[in-house]
Copies of this chain bind each other. A is one copy, B any other.
Amino acid sequence: MSDFTSSLKPRYDGPATLAAERNGSSINIPELSKHLLSRDGFLSRQEKVLQVLKRDRLFSKDQQLNLSRPDRYHLGLARAKAIQRIVRREGWDHEDYKMAEYLVDEMSPFHLHMSMFVTTVREQGSEEQKAYWMPQILNYDIIGCYAQSELGHGSNVRGLETTATWDPVKKEFEIHSPHLTASKWWNGTMGRTATHAIVVAQLLLPHPSNPSNLISHGPQPFILRIRDQRTHLPLPGIAVGDIGPKYGYASMDNGYMLFDHLRVPRSAMLSRYAEVSAETGALSRRGHPAVVYGSLTFVRGQIVMHARLVLARAVTVAVRYCAIRRQFHDRDDVKGERGEMQVLDYPTVQIRILPLLATTFALHYTGEMMYDLYHGTRETVEKGDFGPLAELHSASSGLKSLCTTIAADGIETCRRAMGGHGFGGGSGLVGINADYLSKPTVEGDNWMITQQVAASLIKKMTSCVQNPHAEPKDPTDAIFLYYLKNKDTHIPQSPIHPPNNGKADFEFTDKAIVDIFQWRAAALSHDAYTARIIEKKPWTSLMIQLHALSRAYSEQILITTFYNALTTTPTTPTSLRPTPNLSHPTTNILTTCFHLHALHTLSLSPPTFLLTNSIPLSLLAHLPNAILHLMTALRPHAVALVDAWAIPEYVLDSALGRGDGRVYEELFDMAHRRNPLNRVTFNVDWRSEEIVRGSGDAGRGVLGKL
């Protein structure tokens, strides 16, 4: 049967629209791409790995949204194994492997093996343990997971219920789950995949003088086999499985695990920093695991860098689609002479997408700064001396919290800005939205971990108050000391100069933008110091205030770092500062992004600026028009700017975000030619129990799965 739909074209030409957008911008896209994505050969690596994955049908994402959750695990495992074969065939290094995980864009059932599992063995194992385990790990002869969080305790590691009790007679440990809530829970790779696990358990040792009295020595890591090598079934004394479907992470087997008086040898306890003596049963500690936390800044830098790509992806889809989508004539175009408007020309669409576009660059420069500081101080860090990294290290919790919240919320904001089609599978955002919603919670809940930042800022402010004339040790010190010196005489200045007094348009003072963010961070730190140290208020009663402080301080880092990256006279001199060397039009647009990111951030929480005397009230009156002005300046470059992020179509996996503009052709093709539901005809007569027409079957297929 001929298909009359195959000759139909969309009313408006998508490819021509995107071509016009690209021609209308003076941005040098390849130059900006290179500026953003050259580190560690990202762009060329992306291309290399992509070509290999594209050749293998196993990595096609076409039907992913039609698979059940159990099937997504089957597929995830098949892919994880295939990647191992490819790694060996193609001679990929670890960065290539990580690029493949990024491009495939799902949590791999092997993911924990080469992240937390290997890292813990490497950092906490003794030399002997490493010699035994590392070859098996690197060869994937065993697959490991990391079992820390439990059903009853996530963030609170000290509250873990699983016990590891030393048996001085048999010279071994007994791992046990005293309550149901002691069940290990959420641990990735553990549910169906792992053969081994790092299990974090409370170490209980008999009291030296009264052995029936067990003394807790806090959580310690143990390495143990959890499944039989031959059958892959759980070992006796272990109940382990997958916890079931979740918001996202369909391909990952997040697991549970309980222990019934499981006996493990003394060598199971990772003993670089602590060991139980076989003879005396006493715990000896050596060295200090603080060095482990050195890499935390690097990990958090990775989270920020990943957040920028995730946000860039959502923004890419939204910008391209909203440039192509046309809806309504301008209300003042009474005769309809100008045609239907591109949706991206509506300020109500711009206000949702363009500040996020600007924010991708803010995240970028902070991620870069974290990497640079880490690499530049790597040697001293490995000795446990954080040097210039110390300040950033304590700030990294706040940055993780802020940047993952921005990205998670940003995906959904972009989705809604696309109207009806944003709700469809063609948005390409269904999977990433569900997966990324985990980020504000994992690796430290975004509300919880901000307490660490606040506590460190209160400590720093206390020290500054005590030594107001000291030399600043780091940028935050400098901000705090400046604040203390000027707080009684400070008159807030507006960085926004509206178009009058001879000016044709809005102008901005970049340094004054940085100043208001720094002043607010210092003032809120001082408020917190006053409440906690001087007035001795209960910590719990201050938690909302402390969360706001962490956010304000982190926003200040984004703003300062963005400014430093763009200006030739940075507020924080550092040899590590990225030097753009970009052509003039591109630098100009990035400056507009800086202004828009800053003013949009300001517009999200004006009271903290007002109440800290950081801005004059008059600024608020100009803010909406200043933001409109900036969006108008950014608008012609929106498509070029998202192009520069160079997100491959394979990652976008989006009809709406197609770089070639064939939005409607692709949406229709997905529905008309690639939707398996359309290959079945149904019996819709309510009198009949038959579901699939002509099958005579009362739906055994699906109903059997209930």
Whether A671 touches B159, Cβ cut-off 8 Å, given contacts A186-B420, A231-B681, is no
Chain A 663-692 per-residue mask, 1 if CB under 8 angstroms from chain B, else 0? 011011011101111101111111111011
CB atoms of B347 and A424 under 8 A apart: no
Which chain A residues in 248-264 approach chain B with CB under 8 Å?
A: 248, 253, 256, 258, 260
Known contacts A242-B677, A703-B78: A684-B232 contact under CB 8 Å: yes
How far, in angstroms, from A702 to B181 measured CA to CA in the complex? Answer: 34
Give the distance in Å from the alpha carbon of A648 to the alpha carbon of B207 in the complex.
Answer: 51
Instruction: Find out whether the CB atom of A154 lies under 8 angstroms from the CB atom of B419.
Output: yes
Known: A70-B676, A327-B155. A8 touches B419 (CB 8 A): no
Q: Check A77–B691 contact: CB distance below 8 A.
A: yes
Q: Are A241 and B678 in contact (CB under 8 A)?
A: yes
Nearest chain B residue, comparing its CB with the CB of A540: B330
1/0 contact trace for A236-280 toward B, CB 8 Å? 010101111111100001001010100000000000000000000
A696 within 8 A of B: no
Nearest Cβ on chain B to A11's Cβ, whole angstroms: 4
B231 x A670 contact (CB < 8 A): no
Chain B residues with Cβ under 8 A from A191's Cβ? 677-678
Measured between beta carbons, the chain B residues less than 8 angstroms from A701 are: 71, 74
Which one, A55-63, A305-313, A507-515, is touching chain B? A55-63
Contact call A63/B705, Cβ cutoff below 8 A: yes
Which residue of B is nearest A693, CB measured?
Answer: B232
Chain B contacts for A340, CB-based, 8 A? 156, 159
Q: Is the CB of A423 within 8 A of B441?
A: yes
Task: Say if the beta carbon of A183 comes within 8 Å of chain B.
Answer: yes
Instruction: Specify which of A67, A332, A607 lies most central, judged by the most chain B CB atoms within 10 Å of its CB.
Output: A607
Using Cβ atoms and an 8 Å threshold, which residues of chain B touch A248?
A: 423
Kindly provide the distance from the CB of A348 to the nearest chain B CB, expressed in whole angstroms: 5
Residues of B within 8 A of A547 (CB): 348
Q: A233-B681, A544-B351 are in contact. Are A539 and B328 (CB under 8 A)?
A: no
Task: Determine if A664 and B180 form an interchain contact, defined as CB atoms under 8 angstroms apart.
Answer: yes
A686: contacting residue among B73, B84, B688, CB under 8 A: B84
- A122 is an interface residue with CB less than 8 A from chain B: no
Q: Given A5-B258, A186-B420, is A686 in contact with B241 using a C-beta cutoff of 8 Å?
A: no
The smallest C-beta distance from A135 to any residue of chain B, in angstroms, reads: 15
Q: Are B244 and A671 in contact (CB under 8 A)?
A: yes
Chain B residues closer than 8 Å to A346, beta-carbon distance = 540, 543
Instruction: Name which residue of chain B comes closest to A619, CB basis.
Output: B607
> Is residue A193 within 8 Å, beta carbon to beta carbon, of the partner chain?
yes
Question: Is A242's CB under 8 angstroms from B81's CB?
Answer: no
- Which A409-445 residues have C-beta < 8 A from chain B? 412, 415-416, 419-420, 422-427, 430, 433-434, 437-438, 440-442, 445
Task: Given A4-B239, A81-B689, answer yes or no on A332-B11 (Cβ-Cβ < 8 Å).
Answer: no
Question: Which B residue's beta carbon lies closest to that of A445?
Answer: B419
Q: Which of A1-39 contact B (CB under 8 A)?
A: 3-5, 8-12
Q: Is the CB of A330 within 8 A of B539?
A: yes
Residue of B nearest to A143 (CB): B684
Contact B671 A179, beta carbon cutoff 8 Å: no
Given A71-B702, A75-B703, A154-B327, also A682-B617 (CB < 8 A): no
Q: Is the CB of B347 within 8 A of A544?
A: yes
Instruction: State whether A664 touches B78 (Cβ < 8 A).
Output: no
B-chain residues with CB within 8 Å of residue A426 when the two chains form the complex: 244
Q: Which of B69, B246, B327, B617 contacts A153 (CB 8 A)?
A: B327
Question: From residue 605 to 646 of chain A, which have CB atoms closer than 8 A to chain B?
Answer: 606-607, 610-611, 617, 620-621, 623-624, 628
CB proximity to B under 8 Å, residues A282-324: none
Q: Which residue of B lies closest to A88 (CB)?
A: B686
A672 — which chain B residues lie within 8 A by C-beta? Answer: 239, 241, 256
Q: Is A706 an interface residue (CB 8 A)?
A: yes
A143 neighbours in B (Cβ, 8 Å)? 684
- In the complex, whether A152 has a CB less than 8 A from a CB of chain B is yes
User: Is A195 an interface residue when CB atoms closer than 8 A count as contact?
Assistant: yes
Query: Which chain B residues border A445 with CB–CB below 8 Å?
Result: 419-420
Given contacts A253-B677, A442-B420, contact A539 B706 (CB under 8 A): no
**Proximity bits, A142-156, B CB within 8 Å = 1, else 0:** 010000010111111
* Structural contact, A664 and B181, CB atoms closer than 8 A: yes
Tell me whether B247 and A423 are in contact (CB under 8 A).
yes
Question: Contact flags (1/0) for A587-619 with B, using CB distance below 8 Å?
Answer: 000000000000000010011001100000100
B residues in contact with A705, CB < 8 Å: 63, 66-67, 71, 676
- Given A348-B447, A706-B60: A241 touches B675 (CB 8 Å cut-off): yes
CB-defined contacts of A328 to chain B, threshold 8 Å:
155-156, 159
A132 within 8 A of B: no
Question: Interface 1/0s, chain A 529-544, versus B by CB < 8 A?
Answer: 0000000001111011
A304 and B420 alpha carbons, distance in the complex (Å):
20
In the assembled complex, the CB of A497 is this many whole angstroms from the nearest CB of chain B, namely 19
Whether the Cβ atoms of A677 and B152 lie closer than 8 Å is: no
Question: Is B420 a contact of A441 with CB atoms below 8 Å?
Answer: yes
Question: Residue A94 at the B interface, CB < 8 A?
Answer: no
Q: CA separation between A58 and B706, bound complex, in Å?
A: 8
Tell whether, in the assembled complex, residue A243 and residue B441 are in contact, meaning their CB atoms are under 8 Å apart: no
Closest to A256 in B: B671
B contact residues around A434 at 8 Å (CB): 434
How far does the Cβ of A604 sit from chain B's closest Cβ, in whole Å? Answer: 10
Q: Specify which chain B residues have a CB less than 8 angstroms from the CB of A194 in the assembled complex.
A: 684
Q: Does A177 contact B (CB under 8 A)?
A: yes
Most chain B CB neighbours (cut-off 10 Å) among A10, A194, A423, A681: A423
Given that A8-B179, A10-B179, A668-B183 are contacting pairs, would A686 and B243 also be in contact in the complex, using a CB cutoff of 8 Å?
A: no
Question: In the assembly, what is the distance between CA of A58 and CA of B239, in Å?
Answer: 31
Decide yes or no: A74 and B10 within 8 Å by CB, A140-B686, A258-B5, A348-B544 being known contacts.
Answer: no
Q: What are 20 sample pairs from A and B whose C-beta atoms fall under 8 A apart?
A: A9-B180, A11-B161, A11-B182, A57-B706, A75-B706, A78-B699, A81-B684, A151-B667, A151-B668, A154-B420, A159-B340, A192-B677, A232-B693, A243-B671, A245-B430, A246-B424, A246-B430, A247-B430, A423-B437, A607-B620
List 14 additional contacts besides A66-B70, A241-B671, A244-B671; criterion CB under 8 Å.
A8-B180, A10-B152, A67-B705, A70-B676, A245-B425, A332-B540, A345-B540, A351-B544, A415-B437, A416-B446, A420-B441, A541-B628, A610-B610, A610-B617
Query: Which 4 pairs across A and B sit closest by C-beta, in order of nearness?
Result: A84-B686, A65-B245, A68-B68, A8-B180
